[in-house]
Structure 1
């Protein structure tokens, strides 16, 4: 059994108000594993990500990366928020180097590192373009490139395709499946889309209502690589149904669905 790349150890977090947000959230993510987190609206998914990423301190519990306490640290994580947040006055290349530059990497070195990823990310030829010249899917690719070029231990993706139309979203999910397999990233994804969670993940963590805890973990035993034809399979439908039942609180702990 592999040592966990990321371990969430009994995380608690409360803000002023009637209910705490996190009430002992605990699960692991193995090296190279793709794990999605789903849960009811308002249950605390974004708060959980902020705690993992070091943007909020937990009231109790720990975030552990590669066996070391990383609670409150930002350096082990590359965080991609829902919006692409590309600066309109910078070229696409200079947008993708921003995280490296903030970390103190010389601009020329940062550009060389980012430029090497433009072809596998489907952005070759757009290095000098401005964000407004890109499609929505290409903007998200640029935002993800900016995230992964930082070469952090864990990628945190917060609804990265939520603002895209259905067809573009499906295309981006297929593309992410391909590049993730190529680069072997360790990924934790927040999504409201059960189908997206099944298609992309090795495992799905289902959170309960606020104050949230892990309600269930469902292993996604679908073969890789995954293409869109898999969505119509019987097993895919079974996994979707199991996750929907877990969200509703109808499931009783069968982690294999």
Structure 2
């Protein structure tokens, strides 16, 4: 089996590695925000160096404070600086680049791979999502190729990658599911929800990004968010939450 061998002269400037949807090459000329653990190789230009600084210990605190406004996620991001080519990968998921032109895009945090320092990142009011504002390029991974649809549309939450220039979605529950789980007690206890029972409902103008799979990319930050919220619960609610967790664990082990 033979394959092409790449070097800085044959790598693309800003594109997927030829014939490989799972690896992307950035020609670094300005600061780039990227998730930790996503750099797989790099070529410094002209004998220089490329630096990867954690956001919590960077020498560019002023720029980071202006461009990255999400304390929940800041521990797992770095800013890359220097000149050269950087190769990125994300656990074998498809990687695509997108251009924002004075835009407003909200993307699932687990899917966001990297973005130009010309963009501004804020934490969305919807848990697990981040919002990018401004003009620049960003990279996102997905389980399978991404498709673009226009509202009005209802989508499976696990297939949703993000949405651009349209209002945030509302939740829509299937009428039959609501009848069977009156009061939502059984649904909350067993966690029996899927895209057929619960959907995100988009209205208005804009674009919705969907991955061609219901295999949602795991987001460890959701656990951090829950841990923070648990701190304020009284004993009775903690005991109920313990029952819910025990039931879910038993269901998963069956």
State TM-score, norm by structure 1.
0.29
More helix by share: 1
Larger RCO (CA under 8 A, 6+ residues apart) = 1
More strand by share: 2
Larger Rg: 2
